[in-house]
Amino acid sequence: CREMGEWLAKDERNVVAVHCKAGKGRTGVIVACFLIYSGVIYDDKSAPADLARTALLTFLERRGQGVKYPSQQRTCVYFAEVVCNWIRRHRVVGVHEGGGGAADAADEASGDGGAAGPLRVRVRSMSDGAGAAVDAS
C-alpha cells in the first residue's frame, strides 16, 4: 500500500493497475485495503469491521462485482485492525483534510506532514473487465 500511495502521490497522472484472474476477489482485497490505508475510507470512530465493509462496498459499487469469499473479506477486516491499532499506538490524533488512515498518520507521526497533499482515489474497471485501476486526482 505504501508503494502504491507513493507512486500515486508523485504525479496525478500516475495509475496503479490491480489485476487478478476475474478482477473481483484478490483485486478487491488489495483495492479495499488501499482505500483504508490511504484514508479514503477511514473514520477513527468506526470499528475496523465497519471500515472494511465500507471499503469493500465502495469497490463493489465502482466495479460492479465484489469480493465474495468470507476469507478474503476477513483479510480486509484484519488489515483495518492493523491500521487502526497502528494509529492508536502512535497516538495520532488528527489527520490531514481529505485523507486519513495509515498513510497520513505515518506522515504526521514522522513529522513529514504529508507534503504531497491530500490523496483522492478513484477506482474504475479496466477495459478487459478483470481488474481495477486506481488513480489519484
> Catalytic residue numbers?
20
Total count of residues recorded for the chain: 137
| Cα–Cα distance, 35 to 18 (Å, whole number) | 13
**Sequence-distant (≥ 6) Cβ neighbours of residue 114 within 8 angstroms:** 96, 99, 103, 104, 107, 108
